[in-house]
């Protein structure tokens, strides 16, 4: 199917890149407005404390200081922020109100003429605290004696529900074997190099709040308006701001409410750019923090009959969308496997840590890691090769569409072929021989394998699943295309972009549909006041949803042009053929109207238009997620995401016996995300996702001190990001099984690599540890964790 396209899948320079290589990107921090004021936050030094009073007099006395905003004042004038769950007594607020609930939580916002003055003044704000007991460990938090993070809620459990899909108990009883294990995914995040930045400017003349932000968030303008008690049509988000990386994370609604409120009070533009400490400690952008207790029931031939997953997730202190990250994995709760029944207990717990936010994969990467850990264990127990166990359980190519116990239907795939291809390209047997040769030299060497899914085309089915009061069943995306009077084509993107190359995507989708060179098409980011509905680039959805919306709008343009030509030829429209912008009579290529002739008629010659038609040449199209639109059934079954991409990872690692350091020598990935629209973009996302996954597997952790509740990873000296030394060169083995549900057969790839790399690296490390009779099922597998394990010391 890839071969049938003129522009889709072709090598093409990415439109956005030109401004980035010349230093002309326009990021939120690059904006300069006259009279702009700057914010610095005053953080809580305590993990839990009552705020008894604030004395800002010394700060306010400093020259250049304009305002000190307290949580009390803000609370009076705003609505609490949106929660993913139905928790009326847990109020998420931008500044701590009455009580600070984690170390680093922002208590006051200081506004000054420069950021430096604001920081100086922040140190002078005196806050009277009464220290309270805190709880950091989620398993401690659910004990009856634990201090309550939100006393009004009455418990530290935010959500606890068990779904049983199929005959789980019967399948366990009938299976020859079962295993039980715990897998731990520690709190880490996708931390972009750009922190969150936002400027808000209230214009009393227009009565509009303009917002420029490094944002990646569904319904951002609506959430600002709701928070600030304004109409949505008084908020104008400038989506043309370049976002310096997000990977799900940049949901700075608290930050935006603070500057939005301040801008209205001070009648001046107000800007807040997190410094790195504010970002890591108080920015509320940590990722999943999850304990999996899993049981799998399987037979002698390794057929896995059933799975029970109990996931306990530490949401941190305010449950925004964090608990929903337990919901998305319902979409692929049995991985790529034909597991006949499943039980899933999802438990979200609150603790005195910074809040969790959406991270690449929305909970799927931890779940994939947890499932894959069990697959390897079954192989080891049965003495079978790891690929063989997977082969025996993976859904077969002729079985699609395949419905899994939790109700989602996998659209298409050819998992066995992808696995075969990557093992062949990697030279699996040669890698095993190399591993064994390294072992013979006395080294700890391991070969890893993981096979995982990337659910894509994100919609919101987990929202009603986790909160029955929320009956949202659409997660649409839209595009407006205008053909101007001289024949130029401009298409809109109705959200911001954080590196995904949406301008390139839209240009190719429109170019393909209209038969026009994508380089001649302009794609622009709308402002929210003139934007069509969007749900932002989350859930690996934009190739599918924005690509589909753009193609849908382009088809309408095409039809209008055919109708105009048909009218002028005095023929029915179905006698006309559109090709590369021109329209001719079927079978009579000489009877033709050119692109420019038709455009000219549409814009100027109403007398040549079909009677009653709309002048000009523009069209918009809003697309509902394919397979979307339904509420979950009574038993919780629901079609979650429409498309399922597949990936198989093969890393070869060694471990230094003395230091515990893991080195990745070779890395192969087989990847099938259907039709690829831009090969460089998809490749880059996959390679970058693997780098993120290596970080989650080996380095990245937001460590907290249990005694004091302090975050111990407040800089890049403590929170380690993989550099060019840690990330190896990766070979991608491509395969394409088009999706039957999308315009060009594309699936998502925005989370590729990340969804299987942690599992793959963990598999390799455990393979290396096996000769020692050791295993490690906790991520990250840091140098010191491995060293202590090898040397028999407690980790």
Report the interface residues with other proteins, using CB under 8 A: 13-14, 16-25, 27, 29-30, 32, 116, 190-194, 242-247, 273, 275-276, 498-501, 680-681, 683-685, 687-692, 715-717, 721, 723-725, 727, 729-730, 753
Rounded to the nearest whole angstrom, what is the least distance from the CB of residue 32 to other proteins in the complex?
8
Rounded to the nearest whole angstrom, what is the least distance from the CB of residue 551 to other proteins in the complex?
23
3-state secondary structure of 623: strand
In the complex with other proteins, which residue's Cβ is closer, 150 or 502?
Answer: 502
Q: What angle do CA 151, 155, 160 make, to 5 degrees?
A: 150
Backbone phi, psi, residue 436, to 5°: -70, -35
Pairing, β 270-273 against β 235-237: unpaired
3-state secondary structure of 226: helix
In the complex with other proteins, which residue's Cβ is closer, 293 or 680?
Answer: 680
In the complex with other proteins, which residue's Cβ is closer, 8 or 296?
Answer: 8
Rounded to the nearest whole angstrom, what is the least distance from the CB of residue 38 to other proteins in the complex?
11
In the complex with other proteins, which residue's Cβ is closer, 259 or 273?
Answer: 273
| Residues contacting 48, CB < 8 A, separation 6+ | 99, 100, 101, 102, 131, 132, 133, 134, 147, 149, 352, 709
Rounded to the nearest whole angstrom, what is the least distance from the CB of residue 723 to other proteins in the complex?
5
Backbone phi, psi, residue 577, to 5°: -125, 135
Pairing, β 126-131 against β 235-237: unpaired
In the complex with other proteins, which residue's Cβ is closer, 193 or 486?
Answer: 193
Rounded to the nearest whole angstrom, what is the least distance from the CB of residue 749 to other proteins in the complex?
12
Instruction: Print the SS3 string covering 274-324.
Output: CCHHHHHHHCCCECCCEEEEEEEEECCCCCEEEEEEEEEEEEECCCCCHHH
Name the H helices within 516-594: 542-569
Contact in structure between 369 and 117 (CB atoms under 8 Å): no
3-state secondary structure of 166: coil
Rounded to the nearest whole angstrom, what is the least distance from the CB of residue 216 to other proteins in the complex?
10
In the complex with other proteins, which residue's Cβ is closer, 196 or 410?
Answer: 196
The CA distance from 367 to 595, in Å, is 51
Rounded to the nearest whole angstrom, what is the least distance from the CB of residue 20 to other proteins in the complex?
3
Contact in structure between 168 and 341 (CB atoms under 8 Å): yes
In the complex with other proteins, which residue's Cβ is closer, 32 or 607?
Answer: 32
Rounded to the nearest whole angstrom, what is the least distance from the CB of residue 497 to other proteins in the complex?
8
* Residue located via tokens 């794609």: 523
The CA distance from 397 to 583, in Å, is 40
Distance of CA 209 to the CA centre of its chain: 27
Quick one: CA dihedral 498, 499, 500, 503, positive or negative? positive
Q: How far apart are the first and last CA of the chain?
A: 51
Rounded to the nearest whole angstrom, what is the least distance from the CB of residue 15 to other proteins in the complex?
10
| Length in residues, the chain | 795
Rounded to the nearest whole angstrom, what is the least distance from the CB of residue 688 to other proteins in the complex?
5
In the complex with other proteins, which residue's Cβ is closer, 655 or 682?
Answer: 682
In the complex with other proteins, which residue's Cβ is closer, 14 or 553?
Answer: 14
Nearest of 275, 259, 262 to residue 212 by alpha carbon? 259
Number of Cα atoms under 13 Å in the Cβ half of residue 302: 22
In the complex with other proteins, which residue's Cβ is closer, 533 or 679?
Answer: 679
| Residues contacting 109, CB < 8 A, separation 6+ | 39, 40, 41, 42, 68, 69, 95, 258, 262, 272
In the complex with other proteins, which residue's Cβ is closer, 28 or 759?
Answer: 28
Rounded to the nearest whole angstrom, what is the least distance from the CB of residue 506 to other proteins in the complex?
16
């Amino acid at each position: 199917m890839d071969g049938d396209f003129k522009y889709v899948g072709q090598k093409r320079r990415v439109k956005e890149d030109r401004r980035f290589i010349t230093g002309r990107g326009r990021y939120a921090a690059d904006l300069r407005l006259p009279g702009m004021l700057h914010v610095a936050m005053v953080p809580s030094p305590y993990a839990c404390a009552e705020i008894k009073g604030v004395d800002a007099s010394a700060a306010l006395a400093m020259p250049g200081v304009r305002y000190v905003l307290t949580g009390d004042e803000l609370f009076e004038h705003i609505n609490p922020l949106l929660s993913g769950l139905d928790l009326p007594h847990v109020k998420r607020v931008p500044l701590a109100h009455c009580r600070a609930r984690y170390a680093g939580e922002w208590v006051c916002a200081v506004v000054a003429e420069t950021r430096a003055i604001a920081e100086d003044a922040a140190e002078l704000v005196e806050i009277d605290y009464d220290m309270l007991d805190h709880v950091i460990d989620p398993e401690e938090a659910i004990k009856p004696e634990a201090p309550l993070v939100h006393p009004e809620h009455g418990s530290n459990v935010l959500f606890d529900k068990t779904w049983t899909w199929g005959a789980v108990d019967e399948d366990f009883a009938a299976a020859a074997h079962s295993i039980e294990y715990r897998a731990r995914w520690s709190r880490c995040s996708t931390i972009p190099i750009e922190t969150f930045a936002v400027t808000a400017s209230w214009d009393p003349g227009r009565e509009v709040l303009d917002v420029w932000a490094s944002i990646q968030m569904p319904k951002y303008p609506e959430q600002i308006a709701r928070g600030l008690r304004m109409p949505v049509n008084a908020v104008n988000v400038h989506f043309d701001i370049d976002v310096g990386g997000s990977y799900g994370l940049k949901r700075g609604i608290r930050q935006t409410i603070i500057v939005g409120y301040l801008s209205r009070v001070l009648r001046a533009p107000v800007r807040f750019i997190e410094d790195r400490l504010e970002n890591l400690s108080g920015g509320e952008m940590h990722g999943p923090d999850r304990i999996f207790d899993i049981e799998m029931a399987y037979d002698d031939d390794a057929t896995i009959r059933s799975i029970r997953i109990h996931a306990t997730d530490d949401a941190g202190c305010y449950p925004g969308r964090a608990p929903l990250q337990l919901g998305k994995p319902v979409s692929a709760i049995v991985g790529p496997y034909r597991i006949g029944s499943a039980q899933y207990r999802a438990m979200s717990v609150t603790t005195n840590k910074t809040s969790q936010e959406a991270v690449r994969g929305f909970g799927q990467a931890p779940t994939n890691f947890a499932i894959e850990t069990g697959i390897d264990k079954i192989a080891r127990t049965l003495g079978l090769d790891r690929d063989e166990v997977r082969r025996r359980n993976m859904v077969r190519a002729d079985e699609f569409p395949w419905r899994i116990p939790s109700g989602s239907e996998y659209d298409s795939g050819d998992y066995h072929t992808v696995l075969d291809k990557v093992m062949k390209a990697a030279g699996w047997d040669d890698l095993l021989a190399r591993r064994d040769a390294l072992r013979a030299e006395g080294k700890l060497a391991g070969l890893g394998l993981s096979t995982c899914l990337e659910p894509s085309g994100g919609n919101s089915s987990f929202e009603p699943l986790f909160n029955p009061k929320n009956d949202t069943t659409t997660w649409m995306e839209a595009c407006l295309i205008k053909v101007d009077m001289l024949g130029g084509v401009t298409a809109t993107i109705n959200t911001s972009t954080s590196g995904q190359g949406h301008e390139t995507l839209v240009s190719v989708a429109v170019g393909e549909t209209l038969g026009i060179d994508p380089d001649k098409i302009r794609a622009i980011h709308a402002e929210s006041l003139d934007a069509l509905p969007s749900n932002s680039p989350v859930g690996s959805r934009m190739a599918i949803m924005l690509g589909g919306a753009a193609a849908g709008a382009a088809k309408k343009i095409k039809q209008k042009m055919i109708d105009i030509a048909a009218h002028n030829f005095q023929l029915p429209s179905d006698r006309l053929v559109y090709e590369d912008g021109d329209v001719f009579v079927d079978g009579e290529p000489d009877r033709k109207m050119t692109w420019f002739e038709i455009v000219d008629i549409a814009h100027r010659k109403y007398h040549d238009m079909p009677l009653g038609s709309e002048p000009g040449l523009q069209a918009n199209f809003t697309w509902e997620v394919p397979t979307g639109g339904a509420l979950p059934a009574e038993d919780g079954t629901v079609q979650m995401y429409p498309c399922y991409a597949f990936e198989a990872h093969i890393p070869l690692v060694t471990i230094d016996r003395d230091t515990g350091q893991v080195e990745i020598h070779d890395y192969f990935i087989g990847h099938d995300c259907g039709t690829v629209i831009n090969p460089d973009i998809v490749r880059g996302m996959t390679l970058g996702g693997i780098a993120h996954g290596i970080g989650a597997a080996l380095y990245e952790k937001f460590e907290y001190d249990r005694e004091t509740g302090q975050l111990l990873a407040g800089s890049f000296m403590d929170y380690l990001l993989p550099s060019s030394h840690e990330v190896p060169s990766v070979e991608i083995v491509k395969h394409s099984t088009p999706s039957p549900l999308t315009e060009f057969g594309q699936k998502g790839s925005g989370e590729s690599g990340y969804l299987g790399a942690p599992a793959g690296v963990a598999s390799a490390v455990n393979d290396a540890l096996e000769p020692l009779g050791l295993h490690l099922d906790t991520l990250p597998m840091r140098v010191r964790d491995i060293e202590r394990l090898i040397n028999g010391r407690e980790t």
